[in-house]
Amino acid sequence: MEPSPQPPPTAEELELLFQLELFKDLPKKLRDVLVRFRRYTPGIAGTIFIRQGEYTEDFHYVLAGSVSAFRANADGKVELLESLGPHEWFGEVSALSNQPSLATLKADVPCTLLTIDGSTFRVLYKDVTNAKFRERIDKHYRERALIAHMRTIPLFRALSDSDLARIRPHVHFETFAKGKVIAEQDAPVSRVYMVRSGAVGCTRRLRDGKQKIVGYHMNNSSFGERALEKELATWPGTYTALAPTDVLSIEKDAFGLTFGSGSAALNALQQAALELLRADQGQAAAVRGVEDAELSRIAGDDRIEQMVRRQSVKGGEALVIDLQRCVRCNMCVETCVAVHEDRVPRLSKKGSRVSAELNLATSCYNCEIPECMMACGYGAIRRDVEGVIRFVYDNCVGCASCVSACPYGVIRYTPPPGAAPVVPKESFLEQIPWVGQFFRKAAGAAASEAESKSAPVLSARGEKVNGKSIKCDLCAGLPFEGCVYNCPTAAISRQNPAALFESESSRARVVDGAIHDAVHGGPRG
Amino acid sequence: MNLSLFKSWYSVLALLGIAAAIACSLVAGDIADVRWLRLATGWLAGSSMALALGYVLRKYMHKYGYSPEFKLKVPIAQLERAEMRLNELRGKILTRAVASRAEITAEIKRILSEERVQRVLAVDVKPGPSGGAAFVLEVNKAFLFGRAAKWLHLHLYISIAFAAFVLAHGGRSLGLDFGGALFALSALVVVTGVIGIALWALGPTWLTRRERDLSIEESFVLHQGFQGKLQELRGTLAAEPELAALLDDVMRSGADAPARTKAALQAASQYPEERRRMLEDACVLFGQMRRVEREFRALWRIRLTFMAWRAVHIPAAVLLSAAVLVHVVSVLRY
Ligand code: SF4
Ligand code: SF4
Ligand code: SF4
């Protein structure tokens, strides 16, 4: 169910609501937010509230009954993770990280849940005047969900649950604002970081003063493993938050103190760290094996660099135009206009060049970290089960927070009620190529036409969207994506920018290797 | 160069058409004597032309929102229900509750038809990653009637087959009559089409190479911006008619723009600092606008080069369609 402002509560309900341990210290303004967006989710025994792998943002507080969390492992076995009774909660990891759910949550007996949508939850969690709420959530997360979460992080996969439980008290939660530096190049590595949500870029300063992006970390990836691999390691670059980022961190010494040097657990961790560093060769090669001058030489035409700088790699799916194929016929844009009632195109071919032959069109990327969704304070942007970011127009108040938050500037406005459409609708005769102009109305008749344009613009769901935010909806409900379907030269396609980034990273690796071989007379050790 | 424009199974159609035309002329001698062959080649030519026109029809129906595919739109709620159920199926695949590909495919079919979204969604079952679920489901749009790119291939190759059929249909009787005119028109349409495709294969590369600094869209938008700004400054300068006249003179300049700008700035030296600055700004803006305009024109020229063939191809195709229609009606009627 989608969030929307709820009917006012009774005095009795209010009293009960704010007696709950989790909410009792909420300041007045946040109480109002909670009351406005709270809803109650009932369930009979067996009701599944959240499915493993599902994109959901809802946070649930168990008011009555009990709910069990199950996780299906890769081998197909299902394990019971925990059972949650009254005054416990679930869904905070997904609400914070926009990651698919780690487990399936099912009612054991008839239940009643208090449900808050992700954006409301984030407002409560991130408000500095509400430290108690955050503390309680973090404490609960540390006690109940942290181990399950750590198990999904590659670095910790080799550790048993009991080892994870031993290291758990040493885990710190930290939040970095966009642009904040997490670690400085050449400083000693004193912590291992794991990205819980958000994105971190690693930039290396070369000897000639140029900055080069050499790595990129997103949800569930870790950095700083080199602290485990060898003593006195230094950071190979500067790590900066590219979006609001939540990380978990563990002091390097905590591992030795917890497991003891030479222990099987520490060895397993060191082995995992080594493998991660090896697997991450593109970055490792760039930061260890290749001299600055060589790096500088390949830095010129570097697609990764540009994509990371423009944050394109954060996108889930982007519209990519192959400029060697694009005949600039504009059919993609024209079809986009044709499929939308409001006649506002959702894409612009202008976009940003990521290489000599590829252009990322300006159209929604359905980001892994949807900054629009995080910025919306009204729960009007949601991720559906397929990962597509959608608007819930009932909740959209047209405040434009999402417009400024989207790093790619792909959110636009529909004309307000009464205004003429961006691309006016024409009659059939007017649309006939060349001949149509003879049928176009004289300027005098335009006024009556504008009047007819003031009819409400409807979304694919039938909601009125005049004066609200719109973006590419993947031609919702239609059997095609207009732009991709109608390109005569198949120049435009949907691609995962991270995959482009990956393939470029392997290209860079090959280039690195070739340069290294030429300079050092053999493959890198 | 975009060679993918030529790579298509439809090229077999063109080859078959040419082979059939050669066979006709070899076997039948003068086709005018073999009525059924004449009729068959006529029908083949007509059908190929109808198919070739299918691309045009499809294109404009999509462009103007009249395609029947638009009517297939399903409510989002239905889509969401289907997606939810597919997600459940993913869970079952992960827990091995549904294990074989056949079972999975049958279940997908059931979900899509029960939710009435089978015409909108297409689900591919692919092998899963090692250590993960045995299969992964990839949900895509159905792309029911095929992409425009495929239709373009059909358009290209069926048109070549069409020309071959027309040649065979006319046989040795082709002369300076209606039949000859029909053949000449067909040849013109096909030849300009082939040239067009060749230009489409090469053109984007030329344009992209030239677009290093500014794309054609960027240069257009930038030019509009400069123009607007310049108009604004010109409006402000209107209070000083002499300065405005100096600016107008600069704006009328051609290759001599640097000399005229210099002269205008010199002439303006007696004016107050603020006004003079305004003229200076306007001149700088004008210089930038000209540079962007040059860039835009150069890019536009390239674009025109690889789009100009349409100026012959489209009218010739319209004429040909009309002529074929007249021919068919007259044959059927008389
Ligand atoms: S609107 Fe912008 S931020 Fe939101 S998902 Fe799309 S591209 Fe990402
Ligand atoms: S997928 Fe549809 S809505 Fe999105 S840009 Fe393409 S045509 Fe527009
Ligand atoms: S439809 Fe294809 S060829 Fe035409 S402008 Fe768009 S991407 Fe380029």
Check if the beta carbon of residue B21 is closer than 8 Å to that of residue B164: yes
Check if the beta carbon of residue A52 is closer than 8 Å to that of residue B91: yes
pLDDT per residue over A168-203, tens digit each? 889 888 888 888 999 998 888 889 998 877 778 888
Mean pLDDT of A498-507: 52
Distance from CA of B199 to the nearest CA of A (A): 9
Q: Which chain B residue is nearest to residue A77, measuring alpha carbons?
A: B95
For residues A460 and A337, give the distance between their C-alpha atoms in angstroms, rounded to a whole number.
Answer: 14
Does position B42 have pLDDT exceeding 70, yes or no? yes
Which percentage of chain B shows pLDDT scores above 70?
Answer: 96
Which of A72, A394, A43, A146 has the alpha carbon at shortest distance from B87? A72
**Residue A161: its pLDDT value, please?**
83
Asked, colleague to colleague, whether A11-149 and A154-300 share their fold, the answer is yes
**Residue B103: its pLDDT value, please?**
92
The answer to whether B4 contacts A325, with C-beta atoms less than 8 Å apart, is yes
The answer to whether B65 contacts A339, with C-beta atoms less than 8 Å apart, is yes
A338 at interface of B, judged by CB pairs closer than 8 A = yes
**Residue A46: its pLDDT value, please?**
86
Q: Which ligand lies nearest to the CA atom of residue A327 in the structure?
A: 3
- Could you tell me where the beta strands, DSSP code E, fall in A54-166? 59-64, 67-72, 78-84, 89-90, 104-107, 111-116
Does position A426 have pLDDT exceeding 60, yes or no? no
Q: How confident is the model at residue B144 (pLDDT cuts 50, 70, 90)?
A: confident
Which percentage of chain B shows pLDDT scores above 90?
Answer: 20
Nearest CB partner across the interface for B204, out of A52, A54, A323: A323
Cβ(A364) – ligand 1 distance below 6 Å: yes
Q: What mean pLDDT value characterizes chain B?
A: 85
**Residue A468: its pLDDT value, please?**
76
Two tokens at B66? 């009249």
Provide the 3-class DSSP secondary structure of residue A26: coil
Two tokens at A74? 């890769």
For B142, residues 6+ apart whose C-beta sits below 8 A from its C-beta are A479, A480, B118, B119, B120, B121, B122
What Cα–Cα distance (Å) separates residue A182 from each residue in A40, A276, B228?
39, 20, 45
Name chain A contacts of B211, Cβ cutoff 8 Å.
Answer: 323
The letter for the amino acid at A194 is M
Does position B57 have pLDDT exceeding 90, yes or no? yes
**Residue B154: its pLDDT value, please?**
93
Minimum CA distance residue for ligand 2 atom 8 = A336
Distance from CA of A86 to the nearest CA of B (A): 27
**Residue A77: its pLDDT value, please?**
74
Q: What are phi and psi of A361, to 5 degrees?
A: -70, 155
What Cα–Cα distance (Å) separates residue B84 from each residue in A360, A373, A413, B111?
30, 21, 30, 10
Check if the beta carbon of residue B199 is closer than 8 Å to that of residue B309: yes
Does position A450 have pLDDT exceeding 70, yes or no? no
Q: What are phi and psi of A3, to 5 degrees?
A: -75, 145
Q: Which residue has the higher pLDDT, A485 or B301?
A: A485
Q: How confident is the model at residue A511 (pLDDT cuts 50, 70, 90)?
A: very low
For residues A465 and B73, give the distance between their C-alpha atoms in angstroms, rounded to a whole number.
Answer: 19
Distance from CA of A200 to the nearest CA of B (A): 26
Minimum CA distance residue for ligand 2 atom 6 = A483
Q: How confident is the model at residue A457 (pLDDT cuts 50, 70, 90)?
A: low
The answer to whether A485 contacts B207, with C-beta atoms less than 8 Å apart, is no
Mean pLDDT of A118-127: 83
Q: What are phi and psi of B9, to 5 degrees?
A: -65, -20
**Residue A296: its pLDDT value, please?**
42
Encode B64-94: b = buried (16+ Cβ within 10 Å), e = exposed.
bbebebbebbbebeebbbbbbbbbbbbbbbb
Q: How confident is the model at residue A510 (pLDDT cuts 50, 70, 90)?
A: very low
A328 at interface of B, judged by CB pairs closer than 8 A = yes
For residues A305 and A338, give the distance between their C-alpha atoms in angstroms, rounded to a whole number.
Answer: 36
Does position A432 have pLDDT exceeding 60, yes or no? no
Q: What mean pLDDT value characterizes chain A?
A: 75
Q: Which ligand lies nearest to the CA atom of residue A339 in the structure?
A: 2
Give the distance (Å) from ligand 2 centre to CA of residue A472. Answer: 5
Give the distance (Å) from ligand 1 centre to CA of residue A494. Answer: 15
A301 at interface of B, judged by CB pairs closer than 8 A = no
CATH value of A154-300 in 3.10.580.10, 2.60.120.10, 1.20.120.530, 1.20.1600.10:
2.60.120.10
Nearest CB partner across the interface for A349, out of B2, B204, B217: B217
- Residue A482 sits at the vertex; the CA angle it makes with A310 and B87, to the nearest 5 degrees, is 80
**Helices within A79-117 (DSSP H only):** 92-97
**Residue B125: its pLDDT value, please?**
92
Atom of ligand 3 nearest to the CA of A490: 2
**Residue A448: its pLDDT value, please?**
43
Q: Which residue has the higher pLDDT, A435 or A454?
A: A435
Mean pLDDT of A494-508: 58
| DSSP string across B29-98 | SSGGG-HHHHHHHHHHHHHHHHHHHHHHHHHHHHHTT--GGGGG---HHHHHHHHHHHHHHHHHHHTTSS
**Residue A115: its pLDDT value, please?**
92
For residues B334 and B329, give the distance between their C-alpha atoms in angstroms, rounded to a whole number.
Answer: 8
Q: Mean pLDDT check: name the lowest of A38-42, A404-408, B189-193.
A: A404-408
Query: Tell me, what DSSP letter sits at residue A76?
Result: S
Provide the 3-class DSSP secondary structure of residue A302: coil
Cβ(A107) – ligand 1 distance below 6 Å: no
Q: How confident is the model at residue A418 (pLDDT cuts 50, 70, 90)?
A: low
Q: Which of the given ranges, A60-69, A174-183, A235-244, A415-424, has the highest pLDDT on average?
A: A60-69
pLDDT per residue over B223-265, tens digit each? 888 888 888 888 887 877 888 888 888 888 777 778 888 888 8
Minimum CA distance residue for ligand 3 atom 2 = A487
**Residue A508: its pLDDT value, please?**
36
pLDDT per residue over A57-68, tens digit each? 789 999 999 999
**Residue A454: its pLDDT value, please?**
46
Mean pLDDT of A297-308: 46
Q: Mean pLDDT check: name the lowest of A162-166, A346-350, A518-522, B62-66.
A: A518-522
The answer to whether B204 contacts A491, with C-beta atoms less than 8 Å apart, is yes
Instruction: Provide CATH code, domain A11-149.
Output: 2.60.120.10
Does position A163 have pLDDT exceeding 80, yes or no? yes
Distance from CA of B138 to the nearest CA of A (A): 10
Distance from CA of A18 to the nearest CA of B (A): 34
Q: Which residue has the higher pLDDT, B267 or A111?
A: A111
Does position A515 have pLDDT exceeding 70, yes or no? no
For residues B171 and A289, give the distance between their C-alpha atoms in angstroms, rounded to a whole number.
Answer: 72
Name chain A contacts of B96, Cβ cutoff 8 Å.
Answer: 76
The answer to whether A72 contacts B94, with C-beta atoms less than 8 Å apart, is yes
Q: What is the 3 state secondary structure string of A387-443?
A: CCEEECCCCCCCCCHHHHHCCCCCCEECCCCCCCCCCCCCCHHHHCCCHHHHHCCCH
Q: Which residue has the higher pLDDT, B214 or A328?
A: A328
**What residue ranges do the domains of chain A occupy?**
11-149, 154-300, 314-439+458-501
Give the distance (Å) from ligand 1 centre to CA of residue B64. Answer: 28
Two tokens at A49? 């509230």
Provide the 3-class DSSP secondary structure of residue A199: strand
For residues A197 and B330, give the distance between their C-alpha atoms in angstroms, rounded to a whole number.
Answer: 73
Name chain A contacts of B77, Cβ cutoff 8 Å.
Answer: 461
**Residue A289: its pLDDT value, please?**
38
**Helices within A264-416 (DSSP H only):** 264-279, 281-284, 292-299, 303-309, 331-339, 371-375, 401-405
Does position A445 have pLDDT exceeding 50, yes or no? no
